[in-house]
Amino acid sequence: MFPELFHVGHLTVYSYGVLLGLGTLLAIVWPVRLAAQEGISPQKVEGLGLVIVASAVVGSKLLTALDYPGFYSGDWSLLWREILNRGGVFYGGLLLALATSALYFWLNHLPGWKIADCVAPGLALAQGIARVGCFLAGCCWGIPTQLPFGVTFSSEQAHSITGVPLGVKLHPTQLYEAAFVLLAIPFLLRLLKHKSFDGEVVLTYILYYAVVRFFLEFLRGDPRGYYLNDLLSTSQLISLLIIPIAGLLLIKLRKQSDIASQHDRLTPRMVRAKARARAL
């Protein structure tokens, strides 16, 4: 565990911040290139990237403030210091980023689903890199385990910042999630090339992540908000909402695509039939 990478004078460079910044940069640059291959203006996608980053940061902090008990220790005068010093809940950032992206698409008259498909692989890459940063910082730790791949944290500094237990073998839930999202990237890229309709890639990834996150939450050991007599966490409740919504959208878009394909196939036949009718 390496919460600090190095010092430059009085400036401390943290591993989580560096990896989060790297992931954010790649999440903007890569979708721009993928969108350009689809004939979409790179400038428009770059603007979208900035919107997503800004809204994701705000959304993740807001949900963190609501989800983690005692996050601000009851002293809201320390709000900005806590926002700058701590990470955030991914789902908060995702939900706000989706809302602001939809508004951006509408205001700029852009093909939203097509661009969102281009964003999905970059989103997975940024997520995976950021979770490695979580592991190095010591946040988002797992419950105790005796499995051979359990991890024992020992950094006093990480403990003081995140509260991670020291000297106890824990599930490396940060690395579990990083592995799941990074392994999805080759599949997303293949799906992007062979998709049946716009929106299929991003909705498939959102659905996949919701399922993964729901089950990983059972292995998380850090303090978070719980509901239904402490049975489910906030992220699990959000996953249970996202799974049917993403599934229904996939079905709806597929049906719309099938109807459009049938119409395209029937139209030439109808034209020829009308021509023959006029000839008679």
Q: Look at residue 63 in the predicted model and tell me its pLDDT.
A: 80
For residues 167 and 79, the model is more confident at 167
pTM for the model stands at 0.85
The whole-number average pLDDT for the span 138-150 is: 93
For residues 211 and 260, the model is more confident at 211
Q: Is residue 137 part of a domain?
A: yes
With CA atoms as reference, report the closest residue to 30 among 17, 49, 15: 49
Structural domain of 146: 4-275
DSSP of 68-111, one letter per residue?
STTTTTT-GGGHHHHHHHS---HHHHHHHHHHHHHHHHHHHT--
Model pLDDT for residues 166-209, shown as the tens digit of each residue:
999 999 999 999 999 999 999 999 999 999 999 999 999 999 99
* Distance separating alpha carbons of residues 75 and 188, to the nearest angstrom: 43
Classify residue 186 by burial, with Cβ atoms within 10 Å: 0-12, 13-18, 19+: exposed
Q: Is residue 105 part of a domain?
A: yes
Choose the most confident range, by mean pLDDT, from 14-23, 66-75, 132-141: 132-141
Q: Beta strands 151-152 and 11-14: pairing type?
A: unpaired
Lowest mean pLDDT among 91-95, 131-135, 212-216, 227-231: 227-231
SS3 225: coil
Model pLDDT for residues 29-71, shown as the tens digit of each residue:
899 899 888 888 888 888 888 888 888 888 887 787 777 655 5
Q: How many domains does the chain have?
A: 1
* Distance separating alpha carbons of residues 70 and 65, to the nearest angstrom: 8
Lowest mean pLDDT among 69-73, 122-126, 242-246, 257-261: 69-73
Q: Look at residue 166 in the predicted model and tell me its pLDDT.
A: 94
Average pLDDT of the chain, as a whole number: 85
Q: Look at residue 90 in the predicted model and tell me its pLDDT.
A: 81
Q: Is residue 164 part of a domain?
A: yes
Residue type, 231: L
pLDDT at 78 over 70: no
pLDDT at 79 over 60: no
Confidence tier at 118 by pLDDT (50, 70, 90): very high
Q: Is residue 24 part of a domain?
A: yes
Q: Is residue 280 part of a domain?
A: no
**pLDDT-above-70 percentage for the chain:** 86
Lowest mean pLDDT among 41-45, 136-140, 236-240: 41-45
- Which tokens in the block code for residue 146? 């005796």
